[in-house]
Structure 1
Amino acid sequence: MKKLILGVMGVSMTCIPAVSKDRVTVDPDAVNSETILHAWSWNFPEMARSMKEIADAGFTMIQTSPVQQCYSPEGSGKKIFDDKVTEGNWYYYYQPTDWKIGNSILGSREQMKQMMDSAAKYSIKVIVDVLPNHTAFDIDAVSEDFYKAVGGRDRMFHSNGLAPMRDYNDRLQCTLWGSGGLPDVNTENPDFQKYYMQFVNDLIEMGVRGFRYDTAKHIGVHSDPVDTASCVKENDFWDVATGRKAVKGIRLAIPYDSLFVYGEVLQDKNVPEKEYADYFGQTASGYGWVLREALEKHSSKGLDLKSFHHQSAPEFLTTWVESHDTYANAHESAHLTDDQIRIGWVYLTARQNGTPLFFSRPAGSTRSNYYGDNILGARGNDEFKHPEVVAVNKFRTAMKGEKENVQISESGEVLLVNRGKKGAAMVNLSKSANFIDLPTDLPTGCYKDVVYGKEFKVKNGKIKGLLAPERSYIIVKK
């Protein structure tokens, strides 16, 4: 299960606009201002208790782990990752057994309601991770109510939905075969679509105002192969999910442009990014990879940190330094220190576009013990409220409407994000102190960083000052 899960897991602007919006053509005046805290594996009570701290930290949205009923084997325990059985219990909420609210990991429907009330109190939008693409590995664990609702087991899956995908770059296999070993649901079945949309509308009624679509690139668009063997006529799931069309009398409960929706469309060969862009924002996974490489090298020399490395316009991308996949699944980013993640977050969040997502690492985690206290459902560590994180979150809000001017030193070690004449964020990627001497749009004068009180001088259109190793500084013109 550990090795099979690698292909299973995988954000866009303040509010995703109507489906007719062109998400490929760049709008130079578009400026994003929101930030997402990914409360990975936090249960509902922990999220509810932490909502004030999340708001005080400057986050405007919180993303939950999947909330639907899920696989829960006997003896699965309360650990995030169980070494004895070499599999992670956190995988289970990515294995739906029914589209009803509540599971053994996050909590009950009533506990979710309490969390939603807390989010509303502090004006935090809630994004729910949804995964219509597949069911649990164990198809016998899927509820009979679910099977009955979709017309029985024969109609639950694509004709080759139980066959494991061999080639992720083959769009037929990618959209119609099992992903990461998980059975591929016939998402074009109108009975399934109706049942799923009833779940979505239930969440909307509870106050949810956003969705992250897990494994979105494994659900076909119109140019993809159609599973005629399953009596499918067209790949219309996304038309239904985004409110373009009703299914059996059920339609998205509120206007789509009032929701924040993005899909996990991990970048690879043959992925129709432009076609997906017609429906929702997408994950900038390639950009995250380049940013992590710069953090590892302690320099961006030879790397392009200005481009978002995506076919979609940057204002419709969700960005991250790391995701739950890169940390907990493939462990690709888990070796990076909290300091490295933090300075990467400052650079990412200070920028004009993308909607950045901050992944909450487990409490007590270290670079030799990725799961830390290893308690499933517990709150993550306190990095989400580190002063530098808080400062750049609030900087981002304050810079609404201000265009960016990104400057990078010749060594690639110093990054500067100017936001009009109102502010600037500086990052030193190096493990040594560095002197900044880069062009800025700030007016001449002396400025103090809002976190450490460090002084910087601007003269003749350049900002100068000493940067401590692996540290970031935020300036806001008063």
Structure 2
Amino acid sequence: MSKKIMSVILALCMTLSCLTAAGIVAEARTTETAEVSAQATSVETGADYGLVDDVQDGQILQCWNWSYNGIKANMQKIAEQGFSAIQTSPIQTIKETTQNRQMSGSWWVFYQPSDFKIDTSSQNALGTKSDFKSMCDEAHKYGVKVIVDAVLNHMANNGDNTLSPTIPSDIRNDSSCWHSITTNTSNWNSRWDITHNCMGGLPDLNTGNSKIQNYEIAFLKECIDAGADGFRFDGAKHIEVPNDNENASSNFWSNVLGAATSYAKSSRGFTPYYYGEILDSTGGGQSIVNQYTNYMSVTCNTVSDNIRSQVNSGNASGAKRKDFCYNDGSQPAASKAVLWNESHDTYANGSSRGQSDTTLKKTWALVGSRAQACGMYLARPSSYSNQIGTASVTAWGDVEVKAVNQFKNYFVGKTEYPSSEGSIAYNERGTEGVVLVNCGGSSTSVSVTAHKMAAGTYTDQITGNTFTVSNGKISGKIGSTGVAVVYNAKPAGPSASVTPGSQSYNTDTLTLTLNYKNATSGQYSIDGGSYQSFTDGKTITIGSGLAYGTKTTVSVKATDGTTTSDIQTYTYTKVDPSLVQKVYFDNSSYNWSSVYAYIYADSSTNNGAWPGAQMTKDSATGYYVIEVPEELSNGYVILTESKDATSNRYPADGETGMALNGKTMIMRANHSWEEYTVTPATTAAPTTQPTTAVPTTVPVTTVPADKVLIGDTNIDGKITISDATEIQYHISEYSTLTGDNAIAADTDKNGTINIKDATVIQYYLVGLTESAGHCGEYTGGETPTTQPTTAPSGDYVYYYNSNGWSSVNAYYWSDDNTSLTKWPGVDMESVGNNVYRTKYPSAATYIIFSNNGSNQTSTITLSGANKIYKNGSWSTYNG
């Protein structure tokens, strides 16, 4: 944001903060609901530990085999170490005692539950249900979330492929509750085998059975009531997804998680965090991974274990992996990935147990510093022979782990750049931080390439050593741990946000959650109306009764009592659901068993790895259908029956897909590809017509006595921020604008004075003339000889359209702010001779030009104002 824009907005914010009179009532179309938070809201008792609200953004400490009281006793240390969540061992009823048992011989007992209830018996070394609740209460005091390891795929045996007599008879004696318990999975490429046979002799539940689902829903609800904030699902890949391969499907995940989420929202006002255990691969490729990630995040053991192996062998190049791939090449998105340095399985089976804490902490520095992916750290016991329930402060409490965790929490939302040079693997976050790991040893001096880091002086948060970035190099000394966490930590200021962010919606209403961080209160405004106070987690509903095409803006800000955040504005557009771009497929002449649509714009922009996303049957038309992502509206489509289909796909392998051209299309018989017109849906008239807020003044109808300068509210011959302030006083009833003052204040000439008129003056003052309404114009009387102070011309960037694109868009951003525009960016204005231009903020660093999102350029570094990008290089634009 430029200094000029900042000064104007700050001035207005200061004015608003001084106004205490009753504000304008929000428009009648806006209603509020009672949900408290989109995530479990924590109440901290002491210092702010810098923990994140969304578990996916932070780190989980797996308190493996720890008692609830042991976790509770270490909660402050956990928070101080920067862990935003803890994970318990499974808390379900167990088949045999774990009291006075060693971890090495009995840890597995927790993974053979005999019932779907929190264990309340004295034979459980983890503790009682009341202990669990007390532990959850303590966690929430420190802002720490509680994740429960839940075993929903199978139950306890009495020897391989048998049923334990401790299982309730209502389940044990009902054959419909079980898959074949005598057959173990043997074909790991068959989804039927994986989901319908036993995992290592453990009796496999029929998770498609409504009785089993109801038992498990009740258990999740019991955990939520006791204080759980989320769940890890053991053996998740062994539970089928709704559109699974080989007719293995069931509605388990949609029913069970749908019920749990609904209950959590209604009872405690939050949405639980879910992640599932997937080891090696799902056995069904990318389409199955995509279905799991519709419901949860997933573990990426292949990448995690490989990074640890590469670190252990001193191979920095191998340790810098950027992907999240399973063995078959499928992978979740980064925002749905969970990485670890080791897991309880790799510790228990010995594959990681023999590796040093140094290797584990170096591995953590790499996986734990990743952007978007959640990190899970196993709290190793001090000895594998410890009794179950023992809580040990081992390497998880070391300074390197704390530094990495705080680094990750600090850089939430920033980009990443993993790389390596020599023995050093490192990850740059944004332009102000880097984690460096010496895979070849301990203390060493480094000088590695700065791909993103800005020039300056930084501090290693482990040793206090000084690092410098100069002439494209990061230089400094890594300490004896072999890890350096380099950045200059700054106290976080207040901020406000709305979830979901700016988007289109095709329902009648849209519910938004308002949040703030590092603040004591927040305010929001709808469509430029007066600001209303909100508490963190407040929800509002917009859209009721609005016509399709209506845009609603929601602006938010927050304060800590001293500092007020920048105003963040979000835009929501109501669209006709019948006009959402889609692809249809008439299967009547093809008779494919399933239909997938691979939609792409280039090699890296698509709707998922091949074969794309599975299409669903539309009951209204009888055709298969899929919505087209906005960024792919001008992309291409390949339709296929399956990942490996050769004849049942079109176009053929190696051929370009069918062009979308921004339209809804259908493929009929004989590969006919044509535009498809859906009959527009009609919206029923609301029973109560929406009303608009009553304006604070009588409509402006006065004829000006003299020539009036629109925007010059105080009639002093110039337009300044004071004129916007006069409007603020007017709408807050501190003063009243009449006569020529009122005419000048009506900047959009709509006959009323409201907050939008003050906003228009702001636009005028910062040079956004296209949004400045009638500011600077005269009305009535004679035009004065001295013209008013005019708006600055602003900074333009120019593009020479040598490709003959029908339109040109500019998408610009910076390392610190990737939300300056929304892809494909702003429409550029033609100035003739194939030259297009647009204004851009000085905060922007990079730009991509495209033809409405397709045929785009590569990422280009901006070269300054009034430059033209032509034939691959920048030059000064001279008209």
> Given the superposition, is the C-alpha separation of residues 140 and 420 from structure 1 closer, same or farther in structure 2, using an over 3 Å criterion?
closer
Equivalent residue letter for 2:439? L
One of 160, 177, 182 as aligned partner of 1:156 = 177
Is this contact kept in 2: 1:67–1:93, CA < 8 A?
A: yes
Equivalent residue letter for 2:277? E
One of 265, 273, 279 as aligned partner of 1:260 = 273
Counterparts of 2:68 and 2:207, CA distance in 1: 28
Q: State the secondary structure of the residue aligned to 1:258.
A: coil
Equivalent residue letter for 1:241? V
Match of 2:220 in 1: 200
Q: Which moved more, 1:429-438 or 1:48-57?
A: 429-438
**How far does residue 140 in structure 1 lie from its aligned partner after superposition?**
5.3
**How far does residue 381 in structure 1 lie from its aligned partner after superposition?**
3.7
Give structure 2 stretches of 5+ with no counterpart.
1-37, 41-53, 490-879
Equivalent residue letter for 1:359? L
Written as runs of structure 1 = structure 2, the 5 A alignment for 1:198-277 is 198-221=218-241, 222-226=243-247, 235-243=250-258, 252-255=262-265, 258-268=271-281, 270-271=283-284, 272-277=288-293
Match of 1:43 in 2: 67
Match of 2:112 in 1: 95
Work out whether 1:305 is the aligned partner of 2:321: yes
**How far does residue 77 in structure 1 lie from its aligned partner after superposition?**
4.0
Higher share in strand: 2
Q: State the secondary structure of the residue aligned to 1:93.
A: helix
Work out whether 1:60 is the aligned partner of 2:84: yes
Which digits, 9 at most, give the CA deviation of each residue in 1:64-109, with x for residues without a partner?
0000001215x9742112xxxxxx2111010010111126131111
Is this contact kept in 1: 2:221–2:263, CA < 8 A?
A: yes
One of 369, 380, 405 as aligned partner of 1:361 = 380
Written as runs of structure 1 = structure 2, the 5 A alignment for 1:398-413 is 398-409=410-421, 411=422, 413=423
> Given the superposition, is the C-alpha separation of residues 354 and 455 from structure 1 closer, same or farther in structure 2, using an over 3 Å criterion?
same
Is this contact kept in 2: 1:417–1:424, CA < 8 A?
A: yes
Work out whether 1:429 is the aligned partner of 2:446: no
**How far does residue 269 in structure 1 lie from its aligned partner after superposition?**
6.5
Is this contact kept in 1: 2:163–2:172, CA < 8 A?
A: no
Counterparts of 1:268 and 1:181, CA distance in 2: 20
Is this contact kept in 2: 1:32–1:352, CA < 8 A?
A: no
One of 313, 323, 342 as aligned partner of 2:361 = 342
Is this contact kept in 2: 1:290–1:304, CA < 8 A?
A: no
**How far does residue 162 in structure 1 lie from its aligned partner after superposition?**
3.1
Match of 1:450 in 2: 461
One of 479, 483, 486 as aligned partner of 1:475 = 486
Q: TM-score, with normalisation over the residues of structure 2?
A: 0.46
Match of 1:439 in 2: 449
Counterparts of 2:332 and 2:418, CA distance in 1: 20
**How far does residue 45 in structure 1 lie from its aligned partner after superposition?**
0.8
Counterparts of 1:98 and 1:356, CA distance in 2: 30
Match of 2:22 in 1: none
**How far does residue 433 in structure 1 lie from its aligned partner after superposition?**
4.7
Equivalent residue letter for 1:421? T
Is this contact kept in 2: 1:429–1:470, CA < 8 A?
A: no
Q: State the secondary structure of the residue aligned to 2:93.
A: strand
Counterparts of 1:279 and 1:94, CA distance in 2: 22
Q: State the secondary structure of the residue aligned to 2:353.
A: coil
Q: Which moved more, 1:173-182 or 1:400-409?
A: 400-409
Is this contact kept in 1: 2:339–2:374, CA < 8 A?
A: yes
Counterparts of 2:67 and 2:91, CA distance in 1: 10
> Given the superposition, is the C-alpha separation of residues 252 and 72 from structure 1 closer, same or farther in structure 2, using an over 3 Å criterion?
farther
Q: State the secondary structure of the residue aligned to 2:198.
A: coil
Is this contact kept in 1: 2:425–2:436, CA < 8 A?
A: yes
Q: Which has more radius of gyration?
A: 2
Counterparts of 1:389 and 1:15, CA distance in 2: 25
Give structure 1 stretches of 5+ with no counterpart.
1-13, 17-29, 82-87, 228-233, 366-370
Which digits, 9 at most, give the CA deviation of each residue in 1:426-478, with x for residues without a partner?
11111265442222233333332111122222211211123356511112225
Match of 1:386 in 2: 398
Is this contact kept in 1: 2:93–2:117, CA < 8 A?
A: yes
Is this contact kept in 1: 2:93–2:114, CA < 8 A?
A: yes
Is this contact kept in 2: 1:447–1:475, CA < 8 A?
A: yes
Is this contact kept in 2: 1:262–1:280, CA < 8 A?
A: yes
Q: State the secondary structure of the residue aligned to 1:97.
A: strand
Counterparts of 1:431 and 1:151, CA distance in 2: 55
Q: Which moved more, 1:395-404 or 1:445-454?
A: 445-454
Counterparts of 1:394 and 1:179, CA distance in 2: 38
Match of 1:377 in 2: 389
> Given the superposition, is the C-alpha separation of residues 39 and 251 from structure 1 closer, same or farther in structure 2, using an over 3 Å criterion?
closer
Is this contact kept in 1: 2:55–2:84, CA < 8 A?
A: no
Higher share in helix: 1
Equivalent residue letter for 1:374? N
Q: Which has the higher contact order (CA 8 A, sep 6+)?
A: 1
Is this contact kept in 2: 1:171–1:224, CA < 8 A?
A: yes
One of 186, 202, 221 as aligned partner of 1:166 = 186
Aligned residues: 421
One of 305, 308, 329 as aligned partner of 1:289 = 305
Which digits, 9 at most, give the CA deviation of each residue in 1:188-244, with x for residues without a partner?
1111111110110111112211100000111112324457xxxxxx5111111220x
Is this contact kept in 2: 1:77–1:89, CA < 8 A?
A: no
> Given the superposition, is the C-alpha separation of residues 338 and 432 from structure 1 closer, same or farther in structure 2, using an over 3 Å criterion?
closer
Q: TM-score, with normalisation over the residues of structure 1?
A: 0.82
Q: State the secondary structure of the residue aligned to 2:205.
A: coil
**How far does residue 39 in structure 1 lie from its aligned partner after superposition?**
0.3
> Given the superposition, is the C-alpha separation of residues 476 and 301 from structure 1 closer, same or farther in structure 2, using an over 3 Å criterion?
closer
Q: Which moved more, 1:102-111 or 1:45-54?
A: 102-111
Q: State the secondary structure of the residue aligned to 2:189.
A: coil
